[in-house]
Each structure stands twice: as C-alpha cells, then as structure tokens.
Amino acid sequence: MSFLTTKRTRRVLLAELAALAAVIPAAGIRPGAAAAQGGVVTPDGRVYTAYVPAATKAGQFYQYTCEFDASWVVLKTFGKDVTFEEQLDVVGFDTSLEPYYEQTTEGFVIYGGDITSAFCGDYTSNMLARSTGTAFLPLFEHYGLHAETVRTREEIEATLDRGGLIWMKATVDFLPWDDTTWLTPSGKSVPTVFGNDHAVVVMGYNDDGVVIRDVLGPTNTNWERAYEYDVPWETFLAVFEAQGSDGVAVFPTDDEAADSSRTIQPAHSIEPTDSIPICC
C-alpha cells in the first residue's frame, strides 16, 4: 500500500470524494436486490450471492507491505498462519534496484526490479515498494493451496462460488489513480498506479458489487475506513483494470473448507491495540 499526496484540482477532489462515497462499510448496507435463491445472509442482515468469511487483523505488517497483509488474510482463512518474514522468504526480495520514478509527458514511469517474480522496494519507507500477483502464486502453492490468475468478473464470481478468495491489486479506498508504468532492468513493462497502490482480498459478491477485506483499517487519510466494505462493480472493475486486472484466485483443500472457524460472523470494527504509523 502507498499513498502520495499531490496537488489536486477541484475536479479531481470531487472525483475522489465520489469514489470514496461509493465504498460502503459492510455493516451499514442491506442489499435487498441480491436476495436471490441460494444466496448467503450474514447475521447482521447483509445478503450476498457468495460470501467467504475472511480472516482479519488490525493493521499491516509494515507501512508498505499490503501485498503480504492481503496474502496473510488468504492463508490465515485457510488455516495457515504465516509471518511476514516467512512469506517474504518464499516470494523473494529483489534488491537489485530500489524503485524510483520519473514524470514524463506520457505519465509516471517507475524504475525497479522485476515485480512479476519478487517483491521490490524498501517496505518500511519507499512508497513505490510493491509486487504483483504472479510473484505471489508460488506462495499460496508453497502452503498447499491451489492458486490461479483471475482477470474477469466471471472468474472472480466463479472463485467465490467455489469457496475461494481473491488476492488482488487495487488502489487505496478504490479512489482514482494516475496511470503508471513499471519498467524492470530487462525492459519488462507492468501497468500499475502511482501514489495509492494497494492490495486487498475479495471475499464475496452480489449483483451490486463485491465485499472487500482490507486490513489497512483507519488511518489519517480515512479514519472511517472499515476492515470490511462493499464496492460497486463499476468502481471495482475500473480499479482492477488500472492494475492490469491483477488477481489471484486461491482455493482451500477439502479439510480447510470444512473448518468451523470460517462460520459467518457479523461485520464489526476492530480497534488496533497500538498506534499504527501508516500514511494512507
């Protein structure tokens, strides 16, 4: 996760406010239009076509580790409690080139290591630090889970219908973004965003949109940010496409799918035990 405060025009500010308003805390929504046969009703009255109760925690491992925090959610939900250090060891840490950027006439360009095969950047201080889904596929497979890329709404819905979760790249609060290109030393080009790169987990859907698990929680850029919230399909798909439609479907084993700890519980706020110094 990263967030860079830049000078914004009135039009951009209005667009961001509109997008933020579209992200709805899960506890306050009653999507009656989704009450179709075979749907899932949560104890607090929300209705989804599919809903996989995802694990959560208060805050990220470090300031720019959102990819690992999202993968922790997936792994923990399916019975694997994996530390950040253990995850990083499997994903890999490309330190060949600390990411930096240039603003060109065609937009932002970030220069860094190969984020399609490892994580790159100082996760404690560099807002450009990040990775992609292809680098995280081996992590889920390492812990015995089936994982595959997903790039469409249909594939996302099919994953959730089968009891899986989707690790995905997004923007913070699904807000507007600046189109950006990441260039590796070998010349590989990766579409990404500038300033508000993030990663979250898709844990449910209905006709109106998706339900998101985001362990970032409240920070000084959004004290109202919930750990679970709904995003309309239109907003979700636009952000998903901006990040190169970068999603990973992860499926549990039969034993993990039957884990009683995944019983649906009401959405609720989780208060951090300590102050979390996150800028976003």
Quick one: 244 exposed, middle or buried, by C-beta within 10 A (0-12, 13-18, 19+)?
Answer: middle
At residue 264, the pLDDT reads: 45
pLDDT score for 170 = 98
Closest-CA residue to 107 (of 194, 42, 33) = 194
pLDDT value, residue 49:
96
- pLDDT of amino acid 278: 41
Q: What is the pTM of this model?
A: 0.84
pLDDT, position 25 = 66
61 closest CA partner among 10, 150, 155, 129: 129
Q: What is the pLDDT of residue 19?
A: 56
DSSP state letter for 239: H
pLDDT tens for 7-34 read: 444 444 445 545 555 566 664 433 333 3
* Predicted local confidence at residue 160, as pLDDT: 96
Which pLDDT does position 95 carry in this prediction?
A: 96
Q: CB burial class (10 A; 0-12, 13-18, 19+) of residue 123?
A: buried
What is the total residue count of the chain?
Answer: 280
| Domains delineated in the chain | 25-254 (3.90.70.10)
Q: Report the distance separating Cα 90 and Cα 83, nearest Å.
A: 11
Report, as ranges of residue numbers, the positions in the chain whose pLDDT lies below 70: 1-38, 255-280
